Structure 1
Amino acid sequence: MRPGNRRRPRALIAALAAVLVAVLTLGACSGSGDSGSEATGQPADAGAGAVEGDIVVASGRDVTGKGGIRQKLIEQWNRQQEDKGSSSRARLVELPGSADQQRSQLLGALQSGSAEYDVVNLDVTWVPEFADAGLVRPLPDELVDADVIPSVAATAGWDGKLYAVPFNSDVGLLFYRRDYLKKAGVTDTELGNGTEWSTVQKLIGTVGDTGRSAVDGYEKGWTTQLAPYEGLTVNGIEALASAVDGLRLTDDAGRYTGSVQDLEAGLKELRDRTQAPYTLGDAGRSDEAESLGDFADGRTAFLRHWPYAYRTLHQSLTDQQLGVAPLPGRAVLGGQNLAVTTASKRGPAAQELIRFLTNHESERCLLDAGFAATRLSAYNDNGLTCRAAKPPARPPRPPPPPRAPTACRGTNTAARSTRATPCCPHCRTPSSARAPPVRRLHPDLHHRTAPPLRRQTTIGRGTGQGPAREAEDRPAPHLTRAPPRAEPSPGHRPATR
């Protein structure tokens, strides 16, 4: 972010929160099963067979980066357990690959028992599948209270029971370049809840008329995730739900209930949204990371993405350049829910960890990091602060004790006295016990390093005819051998007897 345009984190989050609350409480569509609010299940074997050891949390990659907010929350929980004197600790295991690959890894690990996961972070659409297969256990209803957004709470239940607790939510949003619209002559760059796709297409046409000449790097109107993976499915569902009023693709038992006419209407809507004149060509091969990069590079004026992209984009774009609005039509409700595995031997402790990770303060931490929080209080309570994002305070380090002069080794009584004396800088012998200069082995046998050499200027001797010269370098008196004898000066005659 440019230095003069930096926005305070609270103000930045407030702008995103206003959009998220409107979308999550009004218009997001979900394909999950029964609401957790009707759940009556209790945790299976909650107090039996609990053993000590790390609570292993399996999750997909944290989009907030290495050492992201999920890891920080777990570290805070570990510190709290240490302060309480508890032996419980948790550690995070991030699964590689796409969402589809992570689902396959979790299913394989839990069905085969090859990995001892205690808590799994499930996509909201996986909860019914894992619950129906008996891979996660029922949880007490009180873990999802009235503070959880109703549409989000509905993703945590299955078959009348609560099987997971909403951790963070996700919903499709429309990001756009305000500066591109201004350069194209658009005066009102604030897009609100009533924006339709037809309006977006008109704006794309306006930007396209001037974009290639006025904006460096601009290519097409918008981009999204159309590669053949979960992203394409999400875009298809959003088009289908926008085209068919009151669409419900499955019943309470999870059976498909859509009609051919519904599918045709949805495919037509998806084709209209992704026409070549509007859509970046690379969108057909793009996932979240690639589409985000194309938008940040200025190749498009609009982007369909998830809430975490807002903080990422604000690292390079200012408020005058970046805008965010609810996605036109219907938006898919995504997110992750935490569940306790049926095979976990640390069920009670795992449940308490989930309680901490989904409480009011933790949800505020997730919102500050760029996730969509699952609790209303995270958006509305200005008194909530995130302590997990701050490093733990360290007690002040006491000043070091005063150092007494070093008592040195020597061969005399003064060196062995309890009262230390200043030492010779060369051999560390106490000054008061230093021997007179002699040309023999110094009594301190531990001394191995010769002191610095001294140079003296002398006058030639003998006949008195020799010029003034510099004497040979003469070491300190306690060398292991006598200094070399000086050579006679030129013209000097040795004295004769």
Structure 2
Amino acid sequence: MRHGPVWRGASAMLLVLLLAAGCDSGDSGDSGGAGGEQSGAAGAADLPGDIVLASGRDVTGKGGIRQQLIEEWNREQERKGSGHRARLVELPGSADQQRSQLLGALQSGSAEYDVVNLDVTWVPEFAAARLVQQLPDKLVDSDVIESVAATARWEDKLYAVPFNSDVGLLFYRRDYLKSAGVTDTDLDQGIGSWPVVQRLIGALDAARKKLPDAYEKGWTSQLDASYEGLTVNGIEAFASASDGFTLTDKQGRYAGSVDDLKAGLDELRNRTEAAYTLPDAAHSDEADTLTDFAGGRTGFLRHWPYAYRTLHQSLPEQNLGVAPLPGRAVLGGQNLAVAKRSQRSVAAGQLIEFLTSKENERCLLDAGFAATRFSAYEDDKLTCKAVKPPGQATASPTSERTDRMPRDTYGRPGYARGTLLPALKNAVQRPRTPLYGAFSQTFTAELARLQGDKPPSDAQLAKDLHEQLKKALPPG
């Protein structure tokens, strides 16, 4: 794939004239104006007015980095006299509620969204339903991390552009390990395997009297079965137990086996044993686990990259460490897509290209997101010039900062290059299927049985899960 501008200046005008003249006017059902083909308005020129971008909450806070980037694009459009402005609409509720809102709005046309920020697991569903437009391959080039780039495609066609990524990480308390007599507390390059984590937890438990009274159990994670947290932890355990593990084929059909499921269940059960796991984890989401870890109740925490900035606001750098998860971690994040019915497809594509550019991916990284491009982590000459990320006085790496997040010599978050980038490169995707909602609901419901008073054996649960997944995702 090659990267290039999305129809700027004269090129954009030529495109509009060609489309208006009826060039390539046959409706294939999956091509879009942002891709230089058929627009959502049957080839008509962009209408003037706001480009509306619908998205979930920005974890960098109110007036955060996403809003700042949009404001910079608006200033650029004003200088050019394009007649377009972008407007961010943040959707309320959980991720599942946001998905339902977007599906309803795009299917009914009740909301005039031009760009939608999709969770990576939603892309196949929105693409298969023809709710978003096909985009040109050049929008995702070789600078985008390979594992991340794969989340933007469905059936070998590009329907979205990676905006910010996500990956499971393991945060840990250096001060607790030191109190327990662990001599090497610099684990940031990797802990190796889950048994190593369990041995370290054993050291903490043995030294309980030397730890703060708040300490209860070794680790916590998002194991609440009422949302995606248990699914994510389950996939991480399953992928760690079996090399090449997959539950779906390229068409999104069920392709698992009882043996693979049994191995994954054994790994998940081992990771969540009562001897190691905070009891509240079974009912915890992201906010709950952050609170428990920051409050000292555990020595280890599985969480997402944004926790790096958040936790450093309450814990000093010398007390907090972060490492890639042992085994395989799940890839998360959001991708930008052009709504099928957008009447401003060309400008929407230009907005997406701006938001996902090399410089602006560096801005997202500086603000606490996981960037999608190698250059944000590896190009020391690349800086965020367009905006001032939260907590920074300026974009200069030597400027005084108001946040407490450690940074390297070039102003990047301290863990970005050595820990975050390798974790992203090694990450696995959740099953890619237009029926992801049905998969996750089925998967979580079965895994939740492990938390009951009389959990089934791994063999029995593997057989049951296999049968239920075949119903939710009919095999080919």
Q: Structure 1 length normalisation: TM-score?
A: 0.69
Identify the residue that residue 107 of structure 2 maps to in structure 1. 111
**Superposition pairs for residues 101-140 of structure 1, below 5 Å?**
101-140=97-136
Q: Deviations over 1:139-179 (max 9, x none)?
A: 11111111111111111111121100000111100000000
Identify the residue that residue 357 of structure 2 maps to in structure 1. 359
Is the Cα–Cα contact under 8 Å of residues 72 and 387 in structure 2 kept in the other structure?
no
Is the Cα–Cα contact under 8 Å of residues 44 and 138 in structure 1 kept in the other structure?
no
Identify the residue that residue 243 of structure 2 maps to in structure 1. 245
Q: 1:44 aligns with which of 25, 38, 43?
A: 38
Residue 216 of structure 1, CA deviation:
3.1
The structure carrying a bigger helix percent of its residues is 2
What's the Cα RMSD here?
1.5
Q: 1:230 aligns with which of 214, 228, 231?
A: 228
**Residues 188-197 or 111-120, more deviating:** 188-197
Identity %: 74
Identify the residue that residue 168 of structure 2 maps to in structure 1. 172
Is the Cα–Cα contact under 8 Å of residues 175 and 319 in structure 2 kept in the other structure?
yes
Is the Cα–Cα contact under 8 Å of residues 167 and 374 in structure 1 kept in the other structure?
yes
- Number of aligned residues: 352
Structure 1: distance between partners of 2:309 and 2:191 = 24
Identify the residue that residue 324 of structure 2 maps to in structure 1. 326
**Superposition pairs for residues 236-385 of structure 1, below 5 Å?**
236-385=234-383
Q: Deviations over 1:433-486 (max 9, x none)?
A: xxxxxxxxxxxxxxxxxxxxxxxxxxxxxxxxxxxxxxxxxxxxxxxxxxxxxx
Q: Deviations over 1:96-115 (max 9, x none)?
A: 11111111111111111111
Q: Deviations over 1:274-315 (max 9, x none)?
A: 111111111111111111111111110000000111011111
Q: Which amino acid aligns with 2:134?
A: P
Residue 387 of structure 1, CA deviation:
2.7
Structure 1: distance between partners of 2:211 and 2:347 = 59
C-alpha spacing 1:182/1:43, structure 2 compared with 1 (3 Å):
farther
Task: Say yes or no: does 1:79 pair with 2:75.
Answer: yes
Identify the residue that residue 96 of structure 2 maps to in structure 1. 100
Structure 2: distance between partners of 1:62 and 1:206 = 38
Q: Deviations over 1:27-68 (max 9, x none)?
A: xxxxxxxxxxxxxx7543276241011111011111111111
Structure 1: distance between partners of 2:37 and 2:203 = 57
Structure 1: distance between partners of 2:273 and 2:296 = 20
Q: From the CA coordinates, give the structure whose radius of gyration is larger.
A: 1
SS in 1 for 2:265: helix
**Residues 111-120 or 213-222, more deviating:** 213-222
Structure 1: distance between partners of 2:331 and 2:38 = 29
Structure 1: distance between partners of 2:124 and 2:308 = 30
Q: Which amino acid aligns with 1:277?
A: A
C-alpha spacing 1:300/1:59, structure 2 compared with 1 (3 Å):
same
Identify the residue that residue 446 of structure 2 maps to in structure 1. none
Structure 1: distance between partners of 2:209 and 2:101 = 45
- Relative contact order higher in (CA < 8 Å, ≥ 6 apart): 2
Q: Deviations over 1:174-224 (max 9, x none)?
A: 000000000000000122335210000010010111235432311110000
Task: Say yes or no: does 1:187 pair with 2:188.
Answer: no
Structure 2: distance between partners of 1:375 and 1:325 = 20
Is the Cα–Cα contact under 8 Å of residues 57 and 120 in structure 1 kept in the other structure?
yes
Q: Structure 2 length normalisation: TM-score?
A: 0.72
Is the Cα–Cα contact under 8 Å of residues 180 and 211 in structure 1 kept in the other structure?
no
Is the Cα–Cα contact under 8 Å of residues 39 and 343 in structure 2 kept in the other structure?
no
SS in 2 for 1:126: helix
Residue 380 of structure 1, CA deviation:
0.9
SS in 1 for 2:78: helix
Structure 2: distance between partners of 1:109 and 1:58 = 10
**Superposition pairs for residues 332-481 of structure 1, below 5 Å?**
332-390=330-388
Residue 390 of structure 1, CA deviation:
2.7
Residue 267 of structure 1, CA deviation:
1.4
Q: Which runs of 5+ in 2 are unaligned?
A: 1-34, 394-476
Q: 1:68 aligns with which of 61, 64, 82?
A: 64
SS in 2 for 1:331: coil
Q: Which runs of 5+ in 1 are unaligned?
A: 1-40, 394-497
Q: Which amino acid aligns with 2:218?
A: G
